[in-house]
Amino acid sequence: MTPQAPGASDPLGPQDAGRSAAARQEQRAVVSANGDTTFVGRAAELERMNQCLRQAWCGKASSVLVQGPAGIGKTALVRHWLARLAPENHPVLRAACDTAEEDLAYGVIGQLTSRVPSFLRSRFPLLAGTTPTAEPFHVGAELLELIGELQSGGPVLIVVDDVQWADRPSAQALGFVLRRLEADAVLTVLIARSSTDPGRAGGLDLPHLIAGMPHSCDLTLTGLDTTDVAELAARVYGRSVGTATVERLRDHTDGHALYLQTLLAEVPLERVSRQQASLPVPTSLAQALRRQLDALPGQARGLVEGIAVLSGPAPLATVAQVASVPEPDAALEPLLANGMVRWWPSHPTTPVAIDHALQRDAILDAIAPRRLRELHAAAATLVDRPASWSHRVAATHGSDAQLARELEQAATDSHTGGEDDRAATLLLWASEVAATRAERERLLLIAAAHLLWAQQYTRVEPLLSRIEAAEPGPLRSLVLGGYATPRREPGAAALLTEALRGSRAEADTAFVSAMAGTWLGINHILEGRGAQAEPLLREVLATDPLEPQLAPWALGTWGLARAYARGARAALAEYDTITRTAPTHSAAERAIQRGYRGMLHMWAGDLTDAQHELTAALDLARAEGCAVTAEFTYANLAASQYFLGDWDAAVINADLALAIADAEEKPWAFSYAYSVASWAPAGRGAWQRARRLAQQSQQWTRVMPVYGAPHVALAEAVLAQARGDHPAVLTALRAILDARPDSGPLAFQTWWRPLYVEALIGTGDLDAAGTALADLVELAGEAPSLRLSVAWLSGLLAQERGDTRRARDLFTEGLGRPAGVDDPPLHRAMLAHSHGRLLNGSGEHRPAAASFTEARELLSALGAEPFLARFQDDFAHRPPSPHPAARLPLAELTDRERDIAQLIGRGLTNREIAARLFVSSKTVEYHLSHIYQKFSLAGRRELRNLVQQHNSLSI
Rounded to an integer, the average pLDDT of 71-82 is: 89
CB 753 within 8 A of CB 772: yes
Percent of the chain with pLDDT over 90: 49
pLDDT of 592 reads 92
Strands (E) located in 195-315: 200-201, 204-205, 215-220, 314-315
Burial of 661 (0-12, 13-18, 19+ CB in 10 A): buried
Residue 880 has pLDDT above 60, yes or no: no
Residue 212 has pLDDT above 80, yes or no: no
What is the enclosing helix (H) or strand (E) of 428?
A: helix 420-433
User: Is residue 200 domain-shared with residue 267, that is, in the same domain?
Assistant: no
Mean pLDDT of the chain: 86
Gap between the Cα atoms of 533 and 522, Å rounded: 7
CA distances from 153 to 30, 93, 135 (A): 12, 14, 30
pLDDT of 32 reads 25
pLDDT of 322 reads 95
- Asked whether residue 791 is assigned to any structural domain, the reply reads no
- Asked whether residue 489 is assigned to any structural domain, the reply reads no
Rounded to an integer, the average pLDDT of 161-166 is: 88
Among 220, 249, 264, where does a domain finish? 220
- Asked whether residue 907 is assigned to any structural domain, the reply reads yes
Residue 713 has pLDDT above 60, yes or no: yes
Of the pLDDT bands very low, low, confident and very high (cuts 50, 70, 90), residue 813 is very high
Rounded to an integer, the average pLDDT of 731-737 is: 97
pLDDT of 195 reads 59
How many structural domains compose the chain?
4
CB 516 within 8 A of CB 474: yes
Residue 296 has pLDDT above 80, yes or no: yes
User: Is residue 273 domain-shared with residue 303, that is, in the same domain?
Assistant: no
Of the pLDDT bands very low, low, confident and very high (cuts 50, 70, 90), residue 777 is very high
Listed in sequence order, the residues at least 6 apart from 787 whose beta carbon sits closer than 8 Å to its beta carbon are 780, 814, 817, 820, 823
pLDDT of 797 reads 97
Mark 483-516 as b/e (b = at least 16 C-beta within 10 Å): bbbbeeeeebbebbbbbbebbeeeeebbbbbbbb
β-pair partners for 342:
353
Alpha-carbon torsion (300, 303, 309, 315), positive or negative: negative
User: Is residue 200 domain-shared with residue 119, that is, in the same domain?
Assistant: yes
Residue among 829, 104, 106 nearest 425 (CA)? 104
User: Is residue 187 domain-shared with residue 203, that is, in the same domain?
Assistant: yes
pLDDT in tens, 299-320: 999 999 999 999 878 999 999 9
HSE at residue 536, side-chain half, CA atoms within 13 A, is 27
Helix-helix angle 825-841:804-816, to 10 degrees = 140
Among 179, 202, 220, where does a domain finish? 220
- Asked whether residue 616 is assigned to any structural domain, the reply reads no
- Asked whether residue 408 is assigned to any structural domain, the reply reads no
Q: pTM of this prediction?
A: 0.84
Rounded to an integer, the average pLDDT of 229-257 is: 86
CB 335 within 8 A of CB 341: yes
User: Is residue 200 domain-shared with residue 134, that is, in the same domain?
Assistant: yes
pLDDT of 710 reads 96
Gap between the Cα atoms of 224 and 238, Å rounded: 19
pLDDT of 763 reads 96
User: Is residue 215 domain-shared with residue 137, that is, in the same domain?
Assistant: yes
Residue 202 has pLDDT above 70, yes or no: no
Q: What is the CATH number of the domain that holds 176?
A: 3.40.50.300
Count of C-beta atoms within a 10 Å radius of residue 932: 15
More confident residue, 797 or 457: 797
User: Is residue 67 domain-shared with residue 202, that is, in the same domain?
Assistant: yes
pLDDT in tens, 482-497: 999 887 788 899 999 9
pLDDT in tens, 508-538: 667 889 999 999 999 999 999 999 999 999 9
User: Is residue 246 domain-shared with residue 331, that is, in the same domain?
Assistant: no
- Asked whether residue 938 is assigned to any structural domain, the reply reads yes
Among 395, 421, 446, where does a domain finish? 395
Count of C-beta atoms within a 10 Å radius of residue 267: 16
Of the pLDDT bands very low, low, confident and very high (cuts 50, 70, 90), residue 154 is confident
CB 924 within 8 A of CB 916: no
- Asked whether residue 546 is assigned to any structural domain, the reply reads no
What is the enclosing helix (H) or strand (E) of 880?
A: none
Amino acid (one-letter) located at 69: P
User: Is residue 55 domain-shared with residue 138, that is, in the same domain?
Assistant: yes
User: Is residue 192 domain-shared with residue 339, that is, in the same domain?
Assistant: no
Q: What is the CATH number of the domain that holds 936?
A: 1.10.10.10
User: Is residue 320 domain-shared with residue 298, that is, in the same domain?
Assistant: yes
Rounded to an integer, the average pLDDT of 847-852 is: 92
Rounded to an integer, the average pLDDT of 271-293 is: 71
pLDDT of 388 reads 92
pLDDT of 95 reads 92
What is the enclosing helix (H) or strand (E) of 716?
A: helix 705-723
Strand order from edge to edge, sheet including 92-96: 92-96, 156-161, 186-193, 62-68, 215-220
Which of 100-109, 763-772, 941-950 tops mean pLDDT? 763-772
Q: What is the C-alpha end-to-end distance of the chain, expressed in Å?
A: 59
pLDDT in tens, 342-377: 888 888 889 999 888 778 888 888 899 999 999 999
pLDDT in tens, 643-657: 999 999 999 999 999
- Asked whether residue 898 is assigned to any structural domain, the reply reads yes
pLDDT of 28 reads 26
Which of 9-18, 380-389, 405-414, 501-510 has the weakest average pLDDT?
A: 9-18
pLDDT of 6 reads 34
User: Is residue 254 domain-shared with residue 363, that is, in the same domain?
Assistant: no
Residue 1 has pLDDT above 60, yes or no: no
pLDDT in tens, 7-45: 333 434 333 332 232 332 222 222 222 334 457 778 888
Residue 665 has pLDDT above 60, yes or no: yes
Q: Which domain holds residue 160?
A: 23-220
Of the pLDDT bands very low, low, confident and very high (cuts 50, 70, 90), residue 543 is confident
Gap between the Cα atoms of 17 and 33, Å rounded: 16
